[in-house]
Structures are given as C-alpha cells and as structure tokens.
Amino acid sequence: MQAYLAEFLGTAMLVLLGDGVCCTVNLDGSGMKGSGVVHILIGWAMAVMVPAFSFGAMSGAHFNPAVTIGAAIRGGFSWGMVPGYIVAQMLGGFAGAALLILLYSDQIKATQDDNTIRGCFCTAPAIPNVSMNFLSEFVATFVLVYTLASIPANAGDSAVSWFLVYGVILACGASFGGLTGYAMNMARDAAPRFAYQLLAPDKGKKDPNWGYGWIPVVAPVCGSIVASFVYMFMVGLGG
C-alpha cells in the first residue's frame, strides 16, 4: 500500500509542478507569463526530480506506466504490481491536474484561448504528422527508459540517481520538446487531458484532442518495451 500511495502522490506532485510551470508561463494573469521555454525545461526536469527524492525509497519513483512496464520486462519489478502502479499513476496525474485547475482558476478565467489552456495540461505536436509524432514519442521514451535502466543500482544510496534523472529529462526536453512536447508518459498526458476535458471551462472551442492524445499513451509504452529488450541484449553481450 505504501508503494501504491507513493506512486499516486509522486505522480500528482510531478504533474502539479510540471504542468504548473506551463501554467505560470502561458496563462494570462500569471506574474511569470512569457518567461519562456528554458523556464519550462528546467521546471519540468525539477518536477520529476523533486518527487523522486521524496518517494523514491518507497516505490522506486516510477511515476510513469512506461517506466513501470520496462522495469517489469527487465525483471526488476513484479508483474503483479504493474496494474496497481499504473492505476495509482493515472489517478495521481488526474489529481495533480485537478488541483492546478483550482489553483490557476483566476488565470484560466483570464485566458480566452482554449488551446492555450489545454496546452498547459497535455501535449500536442508542433506539426501534426501521425507517423513522425509517434516516432518522436517512441524515441524520446526509448532514451528515457534505456538511460534509467543504465543508472547503477547503488547510485540511489547517495541520491545521485535522482540528479541523473534530472539530466535525462532536461536532455529529452531540450532535444525533443519542439516536436511533440516530450510527454513520454501517459500519466502526465492522458490523465491531465481527462482533467482538462472534465474540469476546465469551455471558452468556445474546447477540444481535448484525443485524435492526437492516443500517441502519448501508446508510443511511450512501445519505446519502453524496445528500450528494455535492447538494454538486456547489450548487458547480455558483456557476459
């Protein structure tokens, strides 16, 4: 129960801090509106690292169904716990986004563009192209999961691993953020997308964009599966 609750709270905190930086940069009435993409890159990387410090020892700090599935494939995590982890992560993502909608309610009221509001909670492609958008999320998650698998187990003893996670998220955002927003995680995209759909006000053109929204659900899982098998193959070559 502690692990499931840690995944719920950690994912909620991740979305609260990560989508929160998008809200503070993009919504009208925010004192930091327009502070730019560097603010978002640093903020999102910190949004992953901070809850990892708090909950890593309790659950492994997955906060991402793709990471959980990858860990199970590599044998470091029980398949029996995978469904519970994913449910906790999705509920946490929804809860974090719901709290943000409350906290930024005045700024959301002041912002008249539905797409701007939606963009604070979930991703969208810079250029819609299903195959390339899918590939972008696949590659970004491959890099994420392969790198996480490569972090030495004893790095967590000194919390160095969480600084490495910060670097991975920052690198993925800097390199792939201009393509699809580097979701890499259905709990940070689909769950807040549901929260936007159900709880955010309608300014006249409200559309959760599920026509694209399936890609940040499916592509990260595919990227994680391939990354895990490639990692095991590479380790196997070393004897």
**pLDDT at residue number 56:** 86
Total of domains in the chain: 1
What tokens were used for 171? 């690198």
**pLDDT at residue number 165:** 87
Distance CA 83, CA 89 (A): 10
Structure-token match 């519970």, residue found:
84
Question: In this structure, what CATH number is given to the domain that contains residue 44?
Answer: 1.20.1080.10
For the chain, the residue count is 239
- pLDDT by 10s per residue, the chain, length 239: 899 999 999 999 999 999 999 999 999 999 999 999 999 999 999 999 999 988 988 998 999 999 999 999 999 899 999 999 999 999 999 999 999 999 999 999 999 999 999 999 999 999 999 999 999 999 999 999 999 998 876 555 556 777 888 899 999 999 999 999 999 999 999 999 999 999 999 999 999 999 999 999 999 999 999 999 999 999 988 76
**pLDDT at residue number 159:** 66
Provide the 8-state DSSP code for 159.
T
Segments forming the whole domain that contains residue 182:
2-237
